[in-house]
Each structure stands twice: as C-alpha cells, then as structure tokens.
C-alpha cells in the first residue's frame, strides 16, 4: 500500500466482541481482476483515494489486508427471518467483513464488507460468488438512493473476476465479479436474533453494549440500554423507510438479516424503482404473495422491528421494549412527510399542514398512477413550478378537475432554498426503471460496452434526483 494520507485511520473495533461473532475466512482466488468501479469520493472519506489501480485491486480484489485494520477477513454470524420464516442457518455465505476505518471529519466507524468473495462456513452449498450483472445492479441502486437522500451503503469497488457462473435467473453462463460496499455497520437485526435463539445472554448483552459504545455513544448513560437502542434503531429505520417510499423504491427482500442497526439500506438484489405509486408493485420475482410490495414496506419494517424487540427481550423487559416501537406509525409519518417535502423541493410550514399536504399528494399519486418521477420534476418547488408543470407533457392532466385540489395545495407551497438550483441541474426527470437497468446491462453483456453504465452513474450523481 502506498503511504496513506493523514485522513487514513484504520480500526479493529469489531475484534473487541471476541469469539462467537464471526469466523476467520480466506478470500477466493480469482483467475482475473478487471477494475470496473472505484468510488473515488467514498475513498476520499476514508483516506484511500491515494491508491493507484494496481494497489486498489490488491486490496479489493485479492484482499490483501489494509494496514492497521483487520488482519484477516471475518465471515459474520447471524440468523434471520426470510419472508417471515425463521432461518437459523444464515451468516455471511458469500461475503465477509474485510476492514474497518474511521470516516474523515465525523470519526465514525465505517465497514468495508464484501459480496462474491468466496465460500465461508455459512455458504450452505453455494459457490460464494456474485454475478457481474448483480454487481452492476447493486451500484445503480446505491447511487440512486444516495442521490435521493436515502441512507444507503456505497458500492466502493466492483471488480470483474473472469469466472463463468451458472444462475437459474440469468442467462448462463454469466460473468462474475467481487464487490466491496462501504457502510456504517453490518451488524444486523439477525445478529441479535442469533444470540436470542441460542439463549446466549452474555453475548447478547455484550453486543448491545458494543453497539451503544461504538455506534450510538449518546446512549451510554441510558438506564435501559436494550430499550434505548431499540428506540434509536426504530427512528433510523423509519427515516430510511420514509426515504424509500418518497423515492418510489422497492427493496424486494426486507428480511431481518437485511436490516442493520445504523439504518442504511444495503444488499440490493431484486430491487425496483417504481414508475408510479402502485401499492401492489413487487420487485422480487419470487415474492409471489407480494409480502414486500411497495405499499407493504412499512408493515414489513415494523414487523422486523418487532422481531428485534423479541430478541432483545432475553435481556430486557418485554413491555418496555414494546413501548420503544409503539410510536412507529407517528415516527414513520414524520419521516415520510419530511422525505416527500425534500424530494419535492418544498419548504416546511407546520407539522400539521405538512402532513396534510403530503397525505393529499400521496393519495392523488396512488389513485391516479401519475408517473412519479415526471410529477416530481414538473412540480419541484411547489408554487414556483406551476408554469413549468403546465408547459409539460402532462399539462392536460394537471388542468383536469380531479387534480384541482392538489394543484391548489401545490400553488400554496413555497420552494425550499435549493429548489431553483435543482431545477437548473435537471433538463428533465431522471428515472432508473427496470427496462433501463436491463438495457444498460445488455450493452455490457453483448458488447462489453460500459459507457451507458458510467454515463448513468455520472448523471445520477450530478442531478441528485
């Protein structure tokens, strides 16, 4: 590794948990390493922007340890509910915790975790690999959510690895990759569930103390740490959930092992960006009952928090823990209201007026199925956007009687300070629906043409959609 800058501050804080939380593993050896994505802005936040491409591949394709961080990768142990069915045989099956670093400026701990880095004790017969198509989709999802202000991991690195993989849901054989994501924490709800399932009070208490000490230190003096932590995790989950809903985003697999204690969304498998606010819109082809459909995401997140409360009840009072999530609906409503106002470029007024406005907006979009990204572009800035909206392709709809109450409400709202700048940066709405995702992948699969992918990522970052 080249001499690191002063902004590089490694950590090994996860090792303080001791044994029982993960397993030392060896990364896979790949026949090739072709660097496809390096997230340079993310690298700057942890002092790794100085790496040349060869050193980057050494660390994030061959997984040579970063100086001062974890000496060996750790496959983390956890359980979880998958589609609300408990699975005690989970864990990092094709990934591991590779390194921990302190973020420049904030000092908070960030994890570098992998996907597609080889088999582990938790692979359950799988090959531990990631398809290149899956990696491309993860990059696009994370970029879209970050641009829309939703807490998310960042895809730090994507390296094509030269293997041919067979998958039933892709044209096989398909190309392989190894991915590294940067996130605040990879400690999941399922990590707590595992120790509750094993009736391991000592490690569960140790885990709670570790999370409070290193991720939520303002809770150190709480008299009831499990309840205080659950209340904080609930707030964070609601904030992310509100962002998903305002973004028209469908995660697809909201299992308890896919939610973490710092609130970022991650693990972007069969995600979709909705064209309109259809409550029944489902992302995963295998979600036959629509358990994780767009409109059921709030119920899914609350259900997951309830499972976390049950896990913590091994060391905490069940009634107090239930009280910690009792305000879920109110907390989520506030988060949803704020997320919609930010996306619409509209200033806040009062909690009551803001909530009523967003409820009307969501009701009209849901009932009429107006294309949500077009609508956001047309009316970004509230009353200041009227002329633009009535000069656009949906003007005839906006002039109809059924739209009149919402138009009146929009006309009455003032733009926020960034609305004018946002409009200037957007020649039109920016979307990322499944047809475009497939088209971007088609260029890569057929012609090894990465330009449409890089262009889309640059567009998303520039426009902050």
* Catalytic center residues: 257
Query: Beta-carbon neighbour count of residue 434 at 10 Å?
Result: 15
DSSP H helices, 217-317, are: 225-247, 297-312
Q: How far is CA 256 from the centre of its chain?
A: 14
Phi, psi of 260 (to 5 degrees): -120, 175
Q: Which residues contact 140 (CB under 8 A, 6 or more apart)?
A: 432, 437, 440, 453, 456, 457, 460
Q: Is 215 exposed, middle or buried (0-12, 13-18, 19+ CB in 10 A)?
A: buried
Cα atoms in the Cβ-side hemisphere of radius 13 Å centred on 340: 25
Q: How does DSSP assign 245-256, residue by residue?
A: HHHTEE-S---G
CA distance 350 to 347: 10
Q: Which helix (H) or strand (E) holds 459?
A: helix 451-463
- Peptide linkage before 173 cis (omega within 30 of 0): yes
CA distance 88 to 90: 6
């Amino acid at each position: 590794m080249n001499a690191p800058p002063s902004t590089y501050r490694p950590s090994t804080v996860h090792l303080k948990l001791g044994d029982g939380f993960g397993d030392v593993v060896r990364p896979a050896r790949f026949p090739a390493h072709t660097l496809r994505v390096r997230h340079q802005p993310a690298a700057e936040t942890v002092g790794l922007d100085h790496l040349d491409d060869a050193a980057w591949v050494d660390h994030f394709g061959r997984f040579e340890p970063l100086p001062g961080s974890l000496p060996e990768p750790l496959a983390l142990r956890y359980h979880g509910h998958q589609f609300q069915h408990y699975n005690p045989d989970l864990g990092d099956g094709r990934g591991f915790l590779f390194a921990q670093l302190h973020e420049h400026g904030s000092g908070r701990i960030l994890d570098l975790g992998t996907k597609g880095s080889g088999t582990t004790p938790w692979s359950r017969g799988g090959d531990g690999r990631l398809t290149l198509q899956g990696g491309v989709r993860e990059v696009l999802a994370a970029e879209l959510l970050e641009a829309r202000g939703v807490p998310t991991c960042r895809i730090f690195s994507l390296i094509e690895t030269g293997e041919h993989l067979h998958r039933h849901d892709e044209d096989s054989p398909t190309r392989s990759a190894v991915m590294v994501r940067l996130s605040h924490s990879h400690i999941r709800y399922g990590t707590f569930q595992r120790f509750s399932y094993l009736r391991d009070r000592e490690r569960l208490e140790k885990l709670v103390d570790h999370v409070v000490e290193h991720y939520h230190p303002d809770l150190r003096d709480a008299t009831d740490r499990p309840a205080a932590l659950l209340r904080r995790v609930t707030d964070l989950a609601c904030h992310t959930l509100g962002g998903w809903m305002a973004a028209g985003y469908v995660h697809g697999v909201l299992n308890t092992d896919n939610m973490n204690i710092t609130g970022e969304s991650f693990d972007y498998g069969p995600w979709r960006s909705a064209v309109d606010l259809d409550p029944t819109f489902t992302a995963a082809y295998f979600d036959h009952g629509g358990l994780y459909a767009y409109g059921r995401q709030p119920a899914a997140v609350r259900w997951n928090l309830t499972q976390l409360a049950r896990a913590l009840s091994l060391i905490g009072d069940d009634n107090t823990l239930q009280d910690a999530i009792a305000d879920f609906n109110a907390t989520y409503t506030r988060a949803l209201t704020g997320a919609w106002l930010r996306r619409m470029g509209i200033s806040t007024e009062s909690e009551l007026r803001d909530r009523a406005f967003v409820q009307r907006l969501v009701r009209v979009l849901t009932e009429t199925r107006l294309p949500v990204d077009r609508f956001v572009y047309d009316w970004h800035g509230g009353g200041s956007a009227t002329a633009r909206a009535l000069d656009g392709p949906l003007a005839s709809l906006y002039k109809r009687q059924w739209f009149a109450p919402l138009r009146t409400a929009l006309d009455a709202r003032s733009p926020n300070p960034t609305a004018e700048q946002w409009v200037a940066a957007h020649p039109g709405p920016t979307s990322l629906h499944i047809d475009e995702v497939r088209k971007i992948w088609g260029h890569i699969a057929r012609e090894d043409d990465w330009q449409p992918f890089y262009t889309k990522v640059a567009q998303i970052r520039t426009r902050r959609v």
